[in-house]
Chains A and B, each alone.
Chain A
Amino acid sequence: MIQKQGQVVAVNGNMVSVRFDGDVAMNEVAYIHSNEKRLKSEVIRIRGDEAQVQVYEMTKGLRIGDSVEFSGEMLSVELGPGLLGQIYDGLQNPLPEIAEKKGFFLESGVYLQALSKTQKWAFTPAAKVGDALKRGDSLGSVPERHFLHQIMLPFDFYGSWKLVEIAAAGDYAIDDTIAVVEDSRGNRKNVSMTFSWPVKRAIDCYAERLKPAQPMVTKTRIIDTFFPVAKGGTYCIPGPFGAGKTVLQQVTSRYADVDIVIIAACGERAGEVVETLKEFPEITDPRTGRSLIERTIIICNTSSMPVASREASVYTAVTLAEYYRQMGLDVLLLADSTSRWAQAMREMSGRLEEIPGEEAFPAYLESVIAAFYERAGIVRLADGRKGSVTIGGTVSPAGGNFEEPVTQATLKVVGAFHGLSRERSDARKYPAIHPLDSWSKYPGIMPADVVRYAHAFLERSAEVGAMMKVVGEEGTSLDDYVLYLKGEFLDAVYLQQNSFDPVDASVSPGRQKAMFRIALEILGAALQLKDKDDARSWFYEVRQAFLDLNGSAEGSDLYASSLAKIKAALAERKPEYDAEARRALARLE
């Protein structure tokens, strides 16, 4: 495509109007030349011979008449080996390299290669000359960290191709040609180990999209047991400030049972990302025995970085996730916070003087949010393997009130809702996921009917608790009071989890089942308790033993003694079980 030129005719914040000749495409990338810098921008509206672009940088210093170069390409990311372990900004600029070149500050107009051009990768061919190929088919692989990184026919090679040449096994840089393919008309194209893909288009080279049915284990009890997330599913974590959204995502990013985690720090604090990027290299991933950073990609566009690239950052992140999904891997994308992304859209919509919707968000907010979460999914690839992208986004509702446009639009499309409550975080009940408001549509690691059985205790306990606020303890019957204590007990020993305790921080599904069963033995039992004081002190005693159990490694002395304590305390009160309780317990054998 011939490069188009234009000229700046108006500047308003980070929105710039450009007059051009010829043709310009929507969402095309344009560079504004100003003060010896090249500022990246994206076309977001075209009217006659004027295009409006959102600039991914501060626009201070721009002048009327500055020249603009249209690239002909949509905003894209570079795909290829070497993405894992990287720390990028929202436009895929590697932040460590920028730091090395430019020092402390993120000056505008500095764009660096996302992938090393010189690093060599050990390529092993898999496809054979003569093979018929479609986009996304594997040509061979290179080892990248813990994985075999598939070198695929680029996703924009539409139609059928025939392999005419393939490189022998050996070391290659990403730009080296490793294959030549030919289409039905005899046109040949070279293929290297890298290609680019526009971030706002979902990667769609798969045979079939499947229903998310297999749990994505987070090792957080309240999630895996009560509000599970499926591989290829979506979930959101709304909550007021300080309720624990970021900590919950940090914990998940460490322990989630997936191959790759992509962290999109979108418009939040830089300090929080620093914790991740300094700590992850030091933490060993128990799945692989290698450092956690090796399975992680961080997309970091924090709150004081330019707003337009904040908008782009979630798309950059999801595109990288889809790329690794194409290799048959399970990828988890954690976006913190999607509200900041929505606000970036709102700022731009305001500058475009679009008719505003609720709280000045653009009218298309809902459809854009829906389209983003739709990029999650579990797919069957052409060769039969499965890969998944799971998306979890935090939401930061204004005033902590979930009745606001971003939360509401998100709730319409996600499969699980982990609502954090101020009340619980104030009481230091972490993770502060509200057990009565939250929900999930996915199957989890426990039989659904048993989970419902346990959940009913939480509901009834809350009812009694509310009633007791009015009539006092005196006015509550012993039976009701025990019900109340049972709910509080389940909350304290199972829903709450200490993220900073080495044992309690991550609990395997097997251990969750064992603990859940013990909790059910207590919940389901009719117990001999004399009066309220007796009931309270008995539950406190069992609770203490259970908490000790939670904090002790399987096989340790404390584990055994705490377990014995619980069993003994239970036996002392001659527990009896009704049919429903017996059925629930039997289901967990």
Chain B
Amino acid sequence: MNKVYSHIESITGNVISVRAENIAYGELAEVSSRYGSSLAETIRLDGDMVFLQVFAGGRGVSTGDEVRFLGHPMQVSFSDNLLGRIFNGAGAPRDGGPSLADNLITIGGPSVNPYKRIIPREMIRTGIPMIDVFNTLVKSQKLPIFSVSGEPYNQLLARIAMQAEVDLIVLGGMGLKYDDYLFFRDTLEEGGSLAKTIMFVHTAADPVVECLQVPDLALAVAEKFALRGKNVLVLLTDMTNFADALKEISITQEQVPSNRGYPGDLYSQLAARYEKAVDFADAGSITTLAVTTMPGDDVTHPIPDNTGYITEGQFYLHGGRIEPFGSLSRLKQMVNGKTRDDHRAIMDGMVKLFAAYRDTLEKKSMGFQMTAWDRKLLKYGELFESSMMDLSVNIPLEKALDEGWRILAACFEPRETGLRSDLIQKFWPARSAGSEAARA
């Protein structure tokens, strides 16, 4: 039924054109060349010219190759059979399993009516004090980890995925190193989470156009599960590769770049994906954790910059730790008022003191004299770093709060902490050096 075209008019980068009629904008085609066949998507119509972006790239495509239109846009199969499976950016299996073709759904669907959203209200526990105490993750939040290459961001992502109480994990890998892909697969397998995980993985060796499909595939599937009442955690790593793929493609299409080569619609493109995070009024939810590696550790680079304007905060992973400064969960106040009555006070109080510690460090490095107060701060800072910031610490929120009081009591007198006296009375550890000093 679908007509086959056997003359390609032009090939520029990954884009080919054929003369064809009655083709829908966004329609898929299959391009068969001697290197195998690839999907291609209609990205422009001009009279009877149809421009297609070839997923596998334009390399090796000949003007005599065949183009067969499929009569539908990009789709993905949606069913419980997806669980435990691994696919590539074209939606084909990469785990040797059977390809799935039942119950196809279109990807990149419309956005949720804001009126149908609800105010986020549930905490996601991670066992990481820097998150649970200081920048609480909230169900339906969209949050990137800002980092640089070399930092253990994928380890952090995998760890949160393993510990978060969610029904389902959808991993979207973009430009993933093969080792990292294996790392995710093995970690999830060892942790027993593979059976509730679906992976769409584009590796660094795969064609760049497929990279662009990954978030849409992952989010389309996640959305359907969420509508079925599941709480889904979507992991996207690394969104910088996604943005770079956008850049590469827009430049080969001779679009005028806006900022350092990135297309003018970078913000809208990223927002279309991140805004899929949602809590449905009477169904499930999507929480999105992403990785954004910052080129040159520069937060003003267009990718982290545009991301920061879209997401609900960010975790700043630096030197193997989540930094209290630069990290922000914008939704934390929606949940941290109803955890434990000392949660907010500990969060604010400890960070303020940590800021004072950083100032003291600076003073020290400049050779200024250390006062008694400075020495207390130095002790405090070291304890804070080892028992709160170190990523190997894995304790529930309540334990972490107790630990916070213990650290404060080990370093300060109650009134030096600036904490409210009713909280001090309730939570200040009874037998400690600090409180004895206070009594003396």
Closest 7 CB pairs of A and B: A399-B300, A303-B271, A304-B275, A60-B26, A241-B308, A360-B258, A304-B111
Contact of B325 with A by CB under 8 A: yes
Interface residues of B, dominant DSSP: loop
Also in contact, A340 and B267, with CB within 8 A (given A105-B111, A108-B110): yes
Chain A residues contacting B25 (CB-CB under 8 Å) are 11, 59-63
7 A-B contacts, Cβ less than 8 Å apart?
A60-B73, A61-B24, A65-B22, A99-B115, A106-B111, A304-B275, A400-B305
Contact of B229 with A by CB under 8 A: no
> Separation in Å of the A237 CB from the closest CB of chain B?
14
Contact of B436 with A by CB under 8 A: no
A103 CB contact (under 8 Å) in B116, B118, B276, B312: B116
Chain B residue with Cβ nearest A500? B333
The interface stretch among A156-164, A179-187, A270-278 is A270-278
A303 CB contact (under 8 Å) in B48, B267, B301: B267
> Separation in Å of the B345 CB from the closest CB of chain A?
14
User: Judging by beta carbons under 8 Å apart, are B73 and A347 in contact?
Assistant: no
User: Per-position contact with B for A260-284: 1 when CB-CB < 8 Å, else 0?
Assistant: 0000000101110111011000000
Contact of B35 with A by CB under 8 A: no
Contact of A447 with B by CB under 8 A: no
Contact of B103 with A by CB under 8 A: no
Contact of B83 with A by CB under 8 A: no
> Separation in Å of the B272 CB from the closest CB of chain A?
5
Chain A residues contacting B305 (CB-CB under 8 Å) are 241, 398-400
Name the interface size band of chain A: 35 or more
B117 CB contact (under 8 Å) in A240, A242, A270, A350: A270
Chain A residue with Cβ nearest B309? A241
User: Judging by beta carbons under 8 Å apart, are A95 and B119 in contact?
Assistant: no
Chain B residues contacting A278 (CB-CB under 8 Å) are 118-119
> Separation in Å of the A307 CB from the closest CB of chain B?
6
> Separation in Å of the A312 CB from the closest CB of chain B?
15
Q: Which of B48, B108, B267 has the most CB of A within 10 A?
A: B267
Contact of B396 with A by CB under 8 A: no
User: Judging by beta carbons under 8 Å apart, are A63 and B115 in contact?
Assistant: no
Chain A residues contacting B258 (CB-CB under 8 Å) are 346, 359-361
- From 6 to 20 in chain A, residues with beta carbon under 8 angstroms from any chain B beta carbon are 9-12, 17
Q: Whole-angstrom distance between the alpha carbons of A106 and B272 in the complex?
A: 13
Given contacts A278-B118, A343-B267, 20 further A-B pairs with CB under 8 A are: A10-B47, A12-B45, A17-B46, A63-B22, A64-B21, A87-B114, A87-B115, A95-B114, A242-B330, A269-B310, A269-B312, A271-B312, A271-B331, A277-B114, A303-B268, A303-B275, A347-B265, A350-B256, A396-B309, A398-B300
> Separation in Å of the A475 CB from the closest CB of chain B?
11
Q: Whole-angstrom distance between the alpha carbons of A241 and B227 in the complex?
A: 31
User: Judging by beta carbons under 8 Å apart, are A359 and B259 in contact?
Assistant: yes
Name the interface size band of chain B: 35 or more
User: Per-position contact with B for A329-366: 1 when CB-CB < 8 Å, else 0?
Assistant: 00000000000100100110010000010011100000
- From 252 to 300 in chain B, residues with beta carbon under 8 angstroms from any chain A beta carbon are 255-259, 263-265, 267-268, 271-272, 275-276, 280, 300
User: Judging by beta carbons under 8 Å apart, are A274 and B119 in contact?
Assistant: yes
User: Judging by beta carbons under 8 Å apart, are B24 and A60 in contact?
Assistant: yes
- From 87 to 146 in chain B, residues with beta carbon under 8 angstroms from any chain A beta carbon are 108-120, 140
Chain B residue with Cβ nearest A9? B47
Contact of A300 with B by CB under 8 A: yes
User: Judging by beta carbons under 8 Å apart, are B44 and A12 in contact?
Assistant: yes
Chain B residues contacting A12 (CB-CB under 8 Å) are 44-46
Q: Whole-angstrom distance between the alpha carbons of A102 and B271 in the complex?
A: 23
> Separation in Å of the A102 CB from the closest CB of chain B?
7
Contact of B302 with A by CB under 8 A: yes
A302 CB contact (under 8 Å) in B46, B255, B275, B308: B275
- From 217 to 275 in chain A, residues with beta carbon under 8 angstroms from any chain B beta carbon are 240-242, 267, 269-271, 273-275
- From 5 to 49 in chain B, residues with beta carbon under 8 angstroms from any chain A beta carbon are 21-26, 44-48
Q: Whole-angstrom distance between the alpha carbons of A275 and B119 in the complex?
A: 6
Q: Whole-angstrom distance between the alpha carbons of A357 and B118 in the complex?
A: 41
Q: Whole-angstrom distance between the alpha carbons of A245 and B155 in the complex?
A: 34
- From 184 to 231 in chain A, residues with beta carbon under 8 angstroms from any chain B beta carbon are none
User: Judging by beta carbons under 8 Å apart, are A105 and B113 in contact?
Assistant: yes
Q: Whole-angstrom distance between the alpha carbons of A500 and B280 in the complex?
A: 27
> Separation in Å of the A286 CB from the closest CB of chain B?
23
> Separation in Å of the A52 CB from the closest CB of chain B?
12
Contact of B207 with A by CB under 8 A: no
Contact of B377 with A by CB under 8 A: no
B114 CB contact (under 8 Å) in A107, A108, A274, A343: A274
Contact of A382 with B by CB under 8 A: no
User: Judging by beta carbons under 8 Å apart, are A398 and B259 in contact?
Assistant: yes
Chain B residue with Cβ nearest A337? B309
User: Judging by beta carbons under 8 Å apart, are A104 and B47 in contact?
Assistant: no
User: Judging by beta carbons under 8 Å apart, are A347 and B268 in contact?
Assistant: yes
User: Judging by beta carbons under 8 Å apart, are A273 and B309 in contact?
Assistant: no
Contact of B188 with A by CB under 8 A: no
User: Judging by beta carbons under 8 Å apart, are A61 and B275 in contact?
Assistant: no
- From 39 to 82 in chain A, residues with beta carbon under 8 angstroms from any chain B beta carbon are 58-65
Contact of A96 with B by CB under 8 A: yes
> Separation in Å of the A57 CB from the closest CB of chain B?
9
Q: Which of B115, B264, B302 has the most CB of A within 10 A?
A: B115
> Separation in Å of the B26 CB from the closest CB of chain A?
4
Contact of B313 with A by CB under 8 A: yes
User: Per-position contact with A for B154-170: 1 when CB-CB < 8 Å, else 0?
Assistant: 00000000000000000
- From 219 to 264 in chain B, residues with beta carbon under 8 angstroms from any chain A beta carbon are 227, 255-259, 263-264
Contact of A472 with B by CB under 8 A: yes
Chain B residue with Cβ nearest A359? B258
User: Judging by beta carbons under 8 Å apart, are B256 and A304 in contact?
Assistant: no
Contact of A98 with B by CB under 8 A: yes
A274 CB contact (under 8 Å) in B26, B117, B268, B333: B117
User: Judging by beta carbons under 8 Å apart, are B47 and A64 in contact?
Assistant: yes
Chain B residue with Cβ nearest A35? B24
Contact of A297 with B by CB under 8 A: no
User: Judging by beta carbons under 8 Å apart, are A271 and B117 in contact?
Assistant: yes
Contact of A305 with B by CB under 8 A: yes
Contact of B328 with A by CB under 8 A: yes
User: Judging by beta carbons under 8 Å apart, are A307 and B300 in contact?
Assistant: no
